[in-house]
């Protein structure tokens, strides 16, 4: 289960959600097509793009690529990605939504008992702290809807 993604600049939201749903995803704000193609080829990543020309170019270079119609909703885009890549959304390997690195679970017993009844994770690269707060409800909702759609 080492498939990882690289997305073009039109798919920032998709990259954030792929990280939440457990997949390492490279995202650049202003990458050139050449950079995207080179990186996908060198690191064997699946290139997700809403750019038809880039998609065609990637195909012709035998790069694993998925065209994402920009008119789809976020949920439809994610379903397309998971279906075509044959992967399942996962909640036990969420990545940092800022930098895409792995999260380490940490113990803050006292604070936890005082403030939250939740687990904490910290990004091992940028240090961002995560816990399953109110945003977790949205994540669970998306996760359940995706799993439902993908199982049919
Ligand atoms: Zn981070």
| Range with the poorest average pLDDT among 14-18, 27-31, 86-90, 132-136 | 132-136
**Residues with Cβ within 5 Å of ion ligand 1?**
96, 98-99, 101, 123, 125-126, 128
* pLDDT tens-digit map of 44-77: 899 999 999 999 999 999 999 999 999 999 999 9
pTM score above 0.95: no
**Ligand 1 midpoint to CA 139 (Å):** 18
**Ligand 1 midpoint to CA 122 (Å):** 8
**Ligand 1 midpoint to CA 23 (Å):** 14
Q: Which residues contact 131 (CB under 8 A, 6 or more apart)?
A: 116, 118, 119, 120, 121
In order of their start, the domains of the chain are 5-85 (3.40.50.1010), 103-151 (no CATH)
**Ligand 1 midpoint to CA 102 (Å):** 8
**Ligand 1 midpoint to CA 17 (Å):** 14
User: For residue 106, what pLDDT is reported?
Assistant: 79
User: For residue 23, what pLDDT is reported?
Assistant: 92
Q: Which residues contact 151 (CB under 8 A, 6 or more apart)?
A: none
**Ligand 1 midpoint to CA 138 (Å):** 20
Encoding tokens for residue 35? 């950079």
Strands 65-67 and 46-49, bridge-based pairing: parallel
3-class DSSP state of 71: coil
**Ligand 1 midpoint to CA 129 (Å):** 9
């Amino acid at each position: 289960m080492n498939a990882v993604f690289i997305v073009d600049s039109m798919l920032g939201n998709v990259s954030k959600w792929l990280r939440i749903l457990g997949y390492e995803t490279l995202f650049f704000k202003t990458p050139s097509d050449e950079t995207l193609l080179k990186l996908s080829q060198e690191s064997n990543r699946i290139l997700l793009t809403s750019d038809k020309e880039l998609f065609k170019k990637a195909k012709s270079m035998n790069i694993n690529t998925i065209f994402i119609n920009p008119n789809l909703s976020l949920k439809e885009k994610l379903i397309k990605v998971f279906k075509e890549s044959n992967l399942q959304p996962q909640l036990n390997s969420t990545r940092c939504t800022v930098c895409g690195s792995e999260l380490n679970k940490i113990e803050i017993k006292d604070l936890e008992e005082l403030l939250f009844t939740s687990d904490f994770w910290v990004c091992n690269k940028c240090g961002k702290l995560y816990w399953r707060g109110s945003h977790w409800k949205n994540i669970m909702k998306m996760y359940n809807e995706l799993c439902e759609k993908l199982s049919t």
